């Protein structure tokens, strides 16, 4: 026992030696897992306060877990958003398509068609259900794991694949790493590799909307690991100071690459509870419960729209797959974690709910999954006509120099001419497809 009194400080006095705590996850590769300590309340047991509630009057919600879908696959309690079956099936369809897309793109990377990919398996509800609760012109500032938003907003799959392949159809002109999408038309902000930078930007966008007397709100998504960035603190501070109409979504999927959430501070408190220190409304939600995700986002959207202020929502979920195609999670966590994750799988839970209310069946699910896979496959083939990474079908060389500034300054003109000369020397032509 490292009792303080038994262990005097080597510095020479009687003060006890200090000890650094370095967080350690409960299980590592090969270990059995035990999630029994997780406090998972009954579905429907959380109260739903008025959307104008003061943050200090809803503290329990920052430490609890809003759940709607129970073990009986039925919707329970005041957070039930009471969505019609058609909406639920649409939601399930977006999830099926997102999952099929992830599967195919992951394989595409393994086949060398692109350099990189990131799945969102297990987290589909946190983007799809949440996005469906927003208006289509509410501005979203996502991180790299919210492809579900694009799918929910009807962004063409072929645009996503062209971007992933960096081919000549890529509207980002092959400048961005795969999955760093951008679509102004879909009110989807350009994704950056630099973590959490989008959070103060979302707040600024929301402030702008308020300055202009607009009615649109902003929402941002950030992983629990990235909440440790200074930008997230800035975002929370500015959001509260200016009562910005913004929703700060924290996706707590337990892992930031190889670091478990303890390295972002989860051993002592919840991420939703951080809201309280800023005077923000804080909600902690079962992130694998599509109905709870929808309901929480809708609550926060209504609050923001009514000028009642920003909300921080923690979605408690699990990153079922590796961090990216460059990551192997078997190097740092137990494989059993995924199998035994007590909140299950968001797609299965929504499917089972639809079946439980008599609005769905296994046959239709199977057909839906098949159609999703077929659609992705067909679109992939179509995108491949525009080229895959490294096979020559890319944008012309001079496009590399465009859009650094609105106009090309002299030094970039000179460099563009140089690149063109180099191309002609190497290939005898200026045209990439010649």
Distance CA 32, CA 336 (A): 7
Of 4, 348, 357, 404, which lies in the binding site for other proteins, with binding defined by CB under 8 A?
404
Binding of other proteins by 238 (CB under 8 A): yes
CB of 417 to other proteins, least distance (A): 15
Of 201, 317, 365, 380, which lies in the binding site for other proteins, with binding defined by CB under 8 A?
201
Binding of other proteins by 288 (CB under 8 A): no
> Which residue is associated with the tokens 């995108």?
383
Segment contacting other proteins (CB under 8 A): 13-21, 266-274, 406-414, 424-432? Answer: 406-414
Count CB atoms within 10 A of the CB of residue 4: 12
Q: Which of 178, 229, 176, 179 is nearest to 199 (CA)?
A: 229
Segment contacting other proteins (CB under 8 A): 229-237, 299-307, 331-339, 358-366? Answer: 229-237
Binding of other proteins by 158 (CB under 8 A): no
CB of 250 to other proteins, least distance (A): 17
Q: What angle do CA 122, 194, 265 make, to 5 degrees?
A: 60
Residue closer to other proteins, measured from CB, 24 or 403: 403
Binding of other proteins by 211 (CB under 8 A): yes
Binding of other proteins by 312 (CB under 8 A): no
- Residue 397, classed as helix, strand or coil, is helix
Of 19, 32, 410, 434, which lies in the binding site for other proteins, with binding defined by CB under 8 A?
410
Contact 258, 332 (CB under 8 A): yes
User: Which residues, in sequence order, are bridge partners of residue 251?
Assistant: 223, 315
Interface positions, 351-390, toward other proteins (CB under 8 A):
none
Count residues contacting other proteins (CB under 8 A)?
47
In DSSP notation, 276-329 reads HHHT-EEEEEETT-HHHHHHHHHHHHHHHHTT---EEEEEE----S-SSTT--G
Residue closer to other proteins, measured from CB, 176 or 266: 176
Distance CA 352, CA 278 (A): 38
Q: Which residues contact 425 (CB under 8 A, 6 or more apart)?
A: none
Of 205, 260, 271, 341, which lies in the binding site for other proteins, with binding defined by CB under 8 A?
205
Residue closer to other proteins, measured from CB, 151 or 203: 203
Residue closer to other proteins, measured from CB, 171 or 378: 171
Count CB atoms within 10 A of the CB of residue 342: 10
Q: Which of 159, 161, 88 is nearest to 125 (CA)?
A: 88
Distance CA 218, CA 369 (A): 32
Binding of other proteins by 135 (CB under 8 A): no
Residue closer to other proteins, measured from CB, 176 or 258: 176
CB of 397 to other proteins, least distance (A): 15
Of 33, 53, 158, 180, which lies in the binding site for other proteins, with binding defined by CB under 8 A?
180
Binding of other proteins by 208 (CB under 8 A): yes
User: Which residues, in sequence order, are bridge partners of residue 219?
Assistant: 140, 247
Residue closer to other proteins, measured from CB, 26 or 175: 175
Of 12, 30, 32, 230, which lies in the binding site for other proteins, with binding defined by CB under 8 A?
230
User: Which residues, in sequence order, are bridge partners of residue 286?
Assistant: 316
Spatial strand order of the sheet with 246-252 comes to 139-141, 218-223, 246-252, 311-316, 281-286
Distance CA 148, CA 100 (A): 11
Residue closer to other proteins, measured from CB, 30 or 230: 230
Residue closer to other proteins, measured from CB, 206 or 376: 206
Going from the C-alpha of 148 to that of each of 114, 129, 166, 192, 400, the distances in angstroms are 20, 9, 20, 17, 29
Residue closer to other proteins, measured from CB, 43 or 275: 275
Residue closer to other proteins, measured from CB, 66 or 393: 393
CB of 231 to other proteins, least distance (A): 6
Segment contacting other proteins (CB under 8 A): 148-156, 281-289, 351-359, 401-409? Answer: 401-409
DSSP class of residue 69 equals B
Residues near other proteins, by CB under 8 A: 139, 141, 171-173, 175-176, 180, 182-184, 189-190, 192-194, 197, 199-212, 218, 230-231, 233-235, 237-238, 241, 403-406, 409-411
């Amino acid at each position: 026992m490292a009792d303080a009194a038994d262990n005097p400080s080597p510095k020479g006095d009687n003060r006890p030696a200090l000890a650094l705590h370095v967080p350690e996850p409960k299980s590592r590769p090969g270990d059995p897992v035990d999630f029994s300590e997780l406090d998972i309340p009954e579905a429907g047991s959380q109260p739903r306060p008025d959307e104008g509630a003061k943050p200090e009057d809803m503290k329990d919600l920052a430490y609890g877990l809003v759940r709607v879908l129970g073990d009986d696959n039925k919707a329970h309690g005041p957070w039930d958003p009471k969505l019609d079956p058609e909406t639920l099936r649409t939601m399930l369809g977006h999830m099926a398509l997102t999952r099929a897309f992830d599967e195919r793109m992951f394989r595409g990377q393994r086949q060398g068609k692109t350099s990189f990919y990131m799945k969102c398996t297990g987290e589909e509800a946190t983007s799809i259900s949440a996005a469906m609760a927003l208006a289509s012109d509410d501005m979203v500032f996502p991180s790299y794991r919210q492809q579900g938003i694009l799918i929910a907003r009807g962004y063409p799959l072929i645009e996503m694949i062209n971007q992933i392949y960096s081919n000549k159809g890529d509207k980002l002109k092959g400048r961005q790493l795969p999955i760093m999408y951008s679509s102004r038309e879909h009110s989807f902000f350009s994704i950056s590799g630099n973590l959490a930078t989008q959070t103060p930007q979302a707040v600024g966008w929301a402030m702008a909307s308020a300055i202009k007397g607009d009615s649109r709100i902003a929402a941002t998504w950030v992983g629990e690991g990235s909440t440790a960035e200074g930008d997230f603190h800035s975002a929370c501070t500015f959001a509260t100071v200016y009562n910005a109409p913004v929703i700060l979504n924290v996706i707590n999927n337990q892992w930031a690459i190889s670091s478990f959430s303890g390295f972002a501070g989860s051993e002592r408190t919840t991420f939703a509870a951080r809201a309280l220190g800023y005077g923000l409304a804080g909600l902690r939600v079962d992130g694998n419960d599509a109905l709870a995700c929808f309901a929480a986002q809708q609550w926060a959207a209504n609050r923001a729209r009514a000028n009642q202020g920003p909300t921080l929502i923690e979605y408690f979920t699990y990153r079922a797959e590796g961090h990216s195609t460059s990551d192997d999670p078997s190097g740092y966590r137990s494989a059993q974690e995924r199998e035994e994750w007590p909140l299950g799988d968001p797609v299965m839970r929504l499917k089972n709910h639809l079946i439980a209310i008599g609005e769905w069946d296994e046959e239709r699910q199977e057909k839906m999954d098949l159609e999703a896979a077929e659609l992705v496959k067909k679109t992939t083939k179509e995108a491949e006509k525009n080229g895959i990474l490294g096979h020559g079908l890319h944008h012309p060389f001079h496009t590399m120099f465009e859009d650094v500034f609105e106009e090309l300054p002299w030094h970039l003109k000179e460099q563009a001419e140089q690149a063109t000369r180099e191309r002609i020397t190497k290939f005898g032509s200026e045209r990439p497809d010649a």
